[in-house]
């Protein structure tokens, strides 16, 4: 009887195959003792394809870790495209920098070190992002989604990792702040008119989890952020 790991292995080998650069990035991540919580290869490729399908030029990632998903996103960009990725830990950012250099994408990635809620306001004057990937501390998911809406434009793709947490999202254990944050993020995607969203459950090496995928609606164009109010963003 095949297991979900067998299927994940088959899908990964068949659809993605060997990639020494990505293997080296993960080896460096493991070597540095960082947790093995990067997105799975098939999920990383989903992010990559969403960026290409949407024609994204400017990508925002919240939660760099060692840059595995960052490499996948950077590889999806056209010439002149940019990934801005936010990492709270300088030691993680250092590993990510080396991984991005080795992957040959460092020139198109801007790593900002700091807490997401500190760094995100500094991005407010820039061009809107076309795709936002949220994969950092789960407690801040609602705040990160709010920033995704402020820093995007109608049509921006928003992806939120870890929305299932082994099923706990459907029956949150009291006191688990990560599950509470994950659930609050999903509830916000359902209720906040700035988003139109769905979610997919995943089963991979990390276990049972899921990804939410959303698009920003026209409501963001009439939001309260100053950059949206002056109507000069060209969208
Ligand atoms: C955790 C964080 C992640 O981003 C993930 O994909 C899996 C687990 C965690 O902090 O537990
Ligand atoms: Mg994650």
In this predicted structure, the answer to whether residue 234 has a pLDDT above a threshold of 50 is no
Residue with the smallest CA separation from ligand 1 atom 6 is 37
Report which secondary-structure segment, H or E, holds 114: none
| pTM score, whole prediction | 0.94
Region 89-116: mean pLDDT is: 98
Q: If one looks up domain 4-219 in CATH, what number appears?
A: 3.40.50.150
* Cα–Cα nearest to 159, from 127, 188, 198: 198
pLDDT at 113: 98
Protein residues with CB under 6 Å of any ligand 1 atom: 37, 135, 161-162, 206
pLDDT at res. 224: 54
Is residue 235 pLDDT above 50, yes or no?
Answer: no
Domain assignments of the chain as residue spans, ordered by start: 4-219
Q: In this structure, are strands 109-113 and 207-216 parallel, antiparallel, or unpaired? A: unpaired
Question: In the chain, pLDDT over 70 holds for what percent of residues?
Answer: 94
Number of helices (H), then strands (E), belonging to the chain: the values are 9, 7
Q: Which amino acid residue places its CA nearest to atom 1 of ligand 1?
A: 37
């Amino acid at each position: 009887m095949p297991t979900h790991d067998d299927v994940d292995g088959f899908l990964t080998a068949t659809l993605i195959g060997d990639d020494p650069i990505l293997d080296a990035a993960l080896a460096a991540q493991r070597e540095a003792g960082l947790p093995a919580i990067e997105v799975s290869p098939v999920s990383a490729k989903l992010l990559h394809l969403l960026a290409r399908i949407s024609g994204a030029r400017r990508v925002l990632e919240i939660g760099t870790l060692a840059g595995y998903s960052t490499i996948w996103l950077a590889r999806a960009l056209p010439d002149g495209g940019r990934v801005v990725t936010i990492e709270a830990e300088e030691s993680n950012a250092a590993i990510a920098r080396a991984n991005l250099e080795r992957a040959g994408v460092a020139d198109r990635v801007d790593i900002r070190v700091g807490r997401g809620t500190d760094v995100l306001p500094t991005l407010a004057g820039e061009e809107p992002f076309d795709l936002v990937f949220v994969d950092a501390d789960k407690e801040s998911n609602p705040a990160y989604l709010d920033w995704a809406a402020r820093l995007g434009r109608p049509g921006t793709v928003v992806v939120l990792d870890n929305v299932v947490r082994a099923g706990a999202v459907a029956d949150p254990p009291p006191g688990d702040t990560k599950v509470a944050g994950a659930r609050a993020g999903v509830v916000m995607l359902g209720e906040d008119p700035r988003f139109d969203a769905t979610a997919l459950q995943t089963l991979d090496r990390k276990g049972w989890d899921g990804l939410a995928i959303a698009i920003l609606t026209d409501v963001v164009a009439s939001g309260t952020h100053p950059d949206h109010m002056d109507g000069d963003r060209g969208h």
